[in-house]
Amino acid sequence: MSLSREKINHLSQLVVQELDQLPEVTLYEPPNDVRLEIVRAMNDALKLEATIENVVRQKLNSYSRPIPEGSREWDVMYQKFYDEEFDKRLI
């Protein structure tokens, strides 16, 4: 999934506003610093997702028998390979 810079900034502002309103949460850094860290984390997660998706698509395209995208078989294999790649990168 791709999000625009504006959308990421908007979402990060909403998260900081909600965190700031929770009585059980104390922000020890200025809200803008927290927001910038949220932006960085979101960008890192989106980059990881794109990288994993590319690897998974390459694996699926490497089969000698083409698997039609959107088919049940493709969906199952995509999810399996995606989960495997995701687990590899989190370790």
**Whole domain around residue 62: which residue ranges?**
5-90
**Would you state the torsion angle of the CA atoms of residues 47, 53, 55, 61, taken in this order, to the nearest 10 degrees?**
-150
Total number of domains in the chain: 1
71 in the Ramachandran plot: left (φ > 0), alpha (ψ -120 to 50) or beta?
A: beta
State the pLDDT at residue 36. Answer: 97
How far is Cα 14 from Cα 25, in angstroms, rounded to an integer? 15
How far is Cα 49 from Cα 56, in angstroms, rounded to an integer? 10
Q: Provide the token pair at 46.
A: 């989106």
Q: Tens of pLDDT along the chain (91 residues)?
A: 788 999 999 999 999 999 999 999 999 999 999 999 999 999 999 999 999 999 999 999 999 999 999 999 999 999 999 999 999 988 6
State the pLDDT at residue 29. Answer: 94
Closest by alpha carbon to 81, among 50, 66, 59?
59
State the pLDDT at residue 60. Answer: 95
